[in-house]
Structures are given as structure tokens and as C-alpha cells.
């Protein structure tokens, strides 16, 4: 039976307090393929009350019991792996192979990393005559985005449970079905009543209510910087903890000694992955000025090698972007890039040839970009790359750091010591050297307006804990 019109509260699938629905659009067809219910304050109150009641006992469960629960969740997740991939592909247009190998894989990988971290996590530490104890913070409101739905759900729910917290999850209403599958997984895994709750809805009607709720002890939010500011202001009235992973405009510095063709080709792929809908994508490529034209040639070839098409086609590299709103925003920024004088190397306005339906964007590369241009300042969140020339390494570092964001940075060099030195100059939460593999044990989060707090493995668990010092504890 479909649970698309239900919420999961206190261990049961329930109807919304006030009936209201929203069509879920398949971005490849621009047509609704299902509906979800939209929640209200009454639904949030009910879910928070269930979480608060469950916290009294769940917060005292032994670590071994929480470990066993997470392992059971992982087992069920693996059994539902294909269902997750299909849900992600339908709701956000990801090619099915990408939905399996990246989107659904990410949820599994983060579950495994959290389990491994919990197996080695120390919840108490003796310092002299003081015992320092790490305790679950309480009821946690989790607000997750549409672009990496399972990645962000697992990166919040798993460490919260590991810490002994109870949660209320609001997935994005744009891509909500994978979140419903996740709730089904939690139910089948036997998560105790009230420990995990799901309420679908909009940001103003559900997300902000959660953020301001007096019985919520912490908000963990991933999304745009604009929405994150609203969440933080709403949460401030009750002085609760707020952890946020927000926008980015990540620089990719290709140093003079790098293999330029390889560095550009892989940089284009990194920027365009997930149809450009990743907050840490390397969207500003910095190349030596004397090799700028050469870099444009490599970037053009790499971009034009990407096949844009149906998510169900085996040869598709890039599916559509998620919505009409996103499509329109990307088109506007491409147009601004052209008007401000950047060189349009490939791509541009409109859909790719032969695609007359769906939110498909032409893979686009701009050259001769300066860091004061809009496409170098604003997060496009689509397959659009800005290439900026630099004359000196010092100038490249200054350009890279000249942004309100600080989520990620990238450095390419054949001299690893040199790359490490440049990494230390980056004002970003993560720096990636020479396109490494995804490390789900590394801390993930941002400087500046890219947020606060860190996710992944033990870093995520830490954010869901309070620190208590028992002074005079004795020897």
C-alpha cells in the first residue's frame, strides 16, 4: 500500500490533521506522477510530542542497542536499495545508474560510516577529577533538501539515533518519495515508536514550525543560505542549537604544473555531476592565464561529451534539473553571464537539441570570467561552469577565497606537497586534492555563509550531543 498521502508519527502511518495535497512532478516529463500530503502546525505538534515522549527512554538505551538498531536499518536499506534508486530517479530526474551508484550508494555508505564511528565512539572522558559526559541533545528537527535526498537524510537521522536522540524529519516537498521509502525502512527495521517521525510539507508551514517549536532542542538543516537564515532566526527565539549545511561556490584551482587536460576534463565532470545540483560542486575553475585558451578547448570537448537525456536511457549522463523554478533560475543566470561579457564556450540558453519536454539544461561553459561577474558570485545549481584566468598563485588563492561561501575548494597539482600548502590557504570546510574518491569519514560542512557544524561519521554524532562536566567526580 502506498504511503504517499500519509505521515509516519509515533510508529504509525497517519493522515494529516488538515487534508491538503501537492503534486509530485517528474522533471523528465513535467507531469505529476503522484501526490503527497502537506502538513501543518498540528502535525508538527503531534510528531514533536511523540519524539519528546520517546526521548525519555531512548536517550538511556545502551550503545550496543543503538548499534544493533542501526545495523538492522542498514540491512533493510540494502533490501530496499532498488526502490530507493527508482524513487530518486523519478522525483529528481537522476539517471537511474547515477541514482543507484551515487544517490542510493551514498545513503548506504553513510550508514556504514556512522555504524563504524559509533563502535569506537567515547561518550565519557575523565579529566583529572572531572568526568566529561556526552549526552543526547534531545528532540531534533531535521530538514533535508531535494538534490541529494538519501545522502542528507542518512547524514542526519543515523548520527542522531547513534547519539540517542529522537527526530522529526521533513524531507523536501519537491523530492519527497525517497523520504517516504526511508520511513518505511525505519518501520520495518523496528525503530521504537516516536524515535523517528516524518511529516511532509513546505518550509513555511512545516520547516519553520519545527525550527521554532519550544519542544525541539536542535535543528539540523541543509538547503539554501537564504532558507538557512530564516531557520536560524526562527530557532533563535528558543535558543536551540542550529547546525546548517548551506550553499557554495567552490573554486577549483588548477596549478601550472597540473596535467591541464586531465584537470579540466575531470573538473567539468565534477561540476556537471548530478546535473550540477551539488552544493560543493567545483563551479569556478581557475586556470593559468597563459593557458586559458587551451583550457577552454579542453572544457568545450569535455562538456559536449556529456549526453543529456531521459533518466531511464542507459547512455544518459545528465538528466533534467529538478523543477521549473530551477530551470528558470539557471536560464536567467546563463543569460546574465552572456550579457556581462563572459565568453560562451559551449551550451547556452534553452534545452539541448531534440529535447522539447522536461527541465533539461544545455551543459554550459563560460570563459574569460572575472570574479565580479554574477556567474562567479551566485550559486547557479545547474550544469554551468565558469572558467577564470589567473596570473599568479597568490591571485588564484585570493580569487578562490573572495566569496561569501566556504563549503569546498579543489586544488590540482602533480606536486602533492604544493597542493597541500595551497589547501591550507583555502577558507573552506573541505579541500579536495587531485579529485580524490568520496570519503564518508571526512568532516563535511562549511565556513562563512556555507553554514556551521559538521556531518559524516563521528563528526555527525558529535553535533547531536551535549557536553556535561561532572566536577568533583573523584579518582
pLDDT tens digits, 380-400: 999 999 999 999 999 999 999
pLDDT digits (tens, 9 = 90+) for 142-151: 999 999 999 9
pLDDT reading at 1 higher than 70: no
| SS3 at position 423 | helix
Judge whether residue 48 has pLDDT over 70. yes
Q: Which residues pair with 430 in a beta bridge?
A: 408
Across residues 67-87, what is the average pLDDT?
98
Strand segments (E) across 98-238? 124-127, 130-136, 139-143, 166-170, 196-198, 218-222
Q: Could you report the per-residue pLDDT of 285-300, keeping only the tens digit for each? A: 999 999 999 999 999 9
pLDDT of residue 475: 82
Pinpoint the alpha helices (H) of 120-176.
149-163
Between the CA atoms of 95, 96, 100 and 104, what dihedral angle is there, to the nearest 10 degrees? 70
Query: Which of 161, 176, 156 minimizes the C-alpha distance to 221?
Result: 156
Catalytic (active site) residue 165: no
Is 271 labeled as catalytic in the residue annotation?
no
What values do phi and psi take at 249, rounded to 5?
A: -145, 70
Give me the residue label for grid cell 517528474.
26
| Residues in a beta bridge with 288 | 390
For cell 559536449, what's the residue? 304
Give the Å distances, CA to CA, from 221 to 80, 183, 238, 429: 26, 18, 16, 17
Q: What percent of the chain has pLDDT over 90?
A: 99
C-alpha distances in Å from residue 26, one per residue of 33, 91, 202: 6, 5, 18
Helix or strand run (H / E) with residue 34: strand 31-37
Mean pLDDT over 56-60 rounds to: 98
Task: Count Cβ atoms within 10 A of the Cβ of residue 393 and give its class: 0-12 exposed, 13-18 middle, 19 or more buried.
Answer: middle
* DSSP bridge partners of 24: 34
Which one of the listed residues 90, 245, 379, 455 is annotated catalytic? 245
Domains of the chain: 7-246+450-470 (3.40.605.10), 251-445 (3.40.309.10)
Inform me whether the pLDDT recorded for 269 exceeds 70.
Answer: yes
Task: Please report which residue ranges of 189-291 form alpha helices under DSSP H.
Answer: 208-212, 225-236, 260-272
Average pLDDT, whole number, for the chain?
Answer: 98
According to the model, what pLDDT value does residue 162 have? 98
- List pLDDT tens digits, range 90-109: 999 999 999 999 999 999 99
pLDDT in tens, 355-368: 999 999 999 999 99
How far apart are alpha carbons 14 and 18 in whole angstroms?
A: 12
> Residues 155, 279, 379, 455: which is the catalytic one?
279
Full strand arrangement of the beta sheet holding 218-222: 12-14, 7-9, 196-198, 166-170, 139-143, 218-222, 241-245, 451-452
User: How far is 297 from 66, CA to CA, in rounded Å?
Assistant: 53
Q: Supply the pLDDT for residue 283.
A: 98
Q: Which residues are within 8 A (CB) of 385 and not within 5 positions of it... i.e. 6 or more apart? A: 267, 268, 271, 272, 283, 285, 299, 303, 364, 365, 366
Amino acid at each position: 500500500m502506498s504511503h504517499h498521502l500519509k505521515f509516519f508519527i509515533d510508529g504509525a502511518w497517519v493522515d494529516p490533521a488538515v487534508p491538503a495535497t501537492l503534486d509530485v512532478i517528474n522533471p523528465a516529463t513535467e507531469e505529476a506522477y503522484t501526490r503527497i500530503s502537506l502538513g501543518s502546525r498540528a502535525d508538527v505538534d503531534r510528531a514533536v510530542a511523540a519524539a519528546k515522549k520517546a526521548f525519555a527512554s531512548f536517550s538511556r538505551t545502551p550503545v550496543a542497542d543503538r548499534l544493533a538498531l542501526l545495523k538492522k536499518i542498514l540491512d533493510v536499506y540494502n533490501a530496499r536499495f532498488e526502490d530507493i534508486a527508482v524513487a530518486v530517479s523519478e522525483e529528481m530526474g537522476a539517471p537511474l545508474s547515477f541514482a543507484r551508484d551515487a544517490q542510493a550508494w551514498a545513503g548506504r555508505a553513510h550508514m556504514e560510516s556512522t555504524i563504524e564511528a559509533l563502535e569506537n565512539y567515547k561518550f565519557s572522558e575523565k579529566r583529572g577529577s572531572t568526568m566529561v559526559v556526552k549526552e543526547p541533545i534531545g528532540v531534533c528537527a531535521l530538514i533535508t533538501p531535494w538534490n541529494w535526498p538519501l545522502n542528507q537524510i542518512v547524514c542526519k537521522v543515523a548520527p542522531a539515533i547513534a547519539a540517542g536522540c529522537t527526530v522529526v524529519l521533513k524531507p523536501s516537498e519537491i523530492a519527497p518519495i525517497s523520504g517516504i521509502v526511508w520511513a518505511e525502512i525505519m518501520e520495518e527495521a523496528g525503530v521504537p515508536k516516536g524515535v523517528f517521525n516524518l511529516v511532509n510539507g513546505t518550509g513555511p508551514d512545516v520547516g519553520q514550525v519545527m525550527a521554532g517549536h519550544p519542544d525541539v532542542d536542535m535543528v539540523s538543516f541543509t538547503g539554501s543560505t537564504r532558507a538557512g537564515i530564516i531557520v536560524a532566526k526562527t530557532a533563535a527565539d528558543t535558543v536551540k542549537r542550529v547546525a546548517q549545511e548551506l550553499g557554495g561556490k567552490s573554486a577549483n584551482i588548477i596549478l601550472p604544473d597540473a596535467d591541464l587536460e586531465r584537470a579540466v576534463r575531470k573538473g567539468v565532470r565534477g561540476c556537471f555531476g548530478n546535473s550540477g545540483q551539488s552544493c560543493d560542486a567545483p563551479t569556478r575553475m581557475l586556470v593559468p592565464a597563459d593557458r586559458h585558451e587551451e583550457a577552454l578547448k579542453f572544457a568545450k570537448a569535455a562538456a559536449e561529451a556529456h549526453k543529456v537525456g531521459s533518466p531511464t536511457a542507459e547512455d544518459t549522463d545528465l538528466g533534467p534539473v529538478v523543477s521549473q523554478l530551477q530551470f528558470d533560475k539557471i536560464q536567467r543566470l546563463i543569460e546574465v553571464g552572456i550579457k556581462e561579457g563572459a565568453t560562451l564556450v559551449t551550451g547556452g540558453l534553452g534545452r539541448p537539441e531534440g529535447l522539447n519536454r522536461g527541465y533539461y539544461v544545455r551543459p554550459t561553459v563560460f570563459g574569460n570570467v572575472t570574479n565580479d561577474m554574477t556567474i562567479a558570485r551566485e550559486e547557479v545549481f545547474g550544469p554551468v561552469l565558469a572558467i577564470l584566468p589567473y596570473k599568479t598563485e597568490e591571485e588564484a588563492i585570493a580569487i578562490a577565497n573572495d566569496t561569501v561561501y566556504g563549503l569546498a575548494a579543489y586544488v590540482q597539482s602533480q606536486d602533492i606537497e604544493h597542493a597541500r600548502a595551497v589547501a591550507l590557504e583555502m577558507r573552506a570546510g573541505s579541500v579536495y586534492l587531485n579529485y580524490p574518491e568520496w570519503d564518508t569519514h571526512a568532516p563535511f560542512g562549511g565556513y562563512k555563509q556555507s553554514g556551521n557544524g559538521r556531518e559524516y561519521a563521528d563528526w555527525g554524532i558529535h553535533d547531536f550531543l551535549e557536553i556535561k562536566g561532572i566536577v568533583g567526580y573523584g579518582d
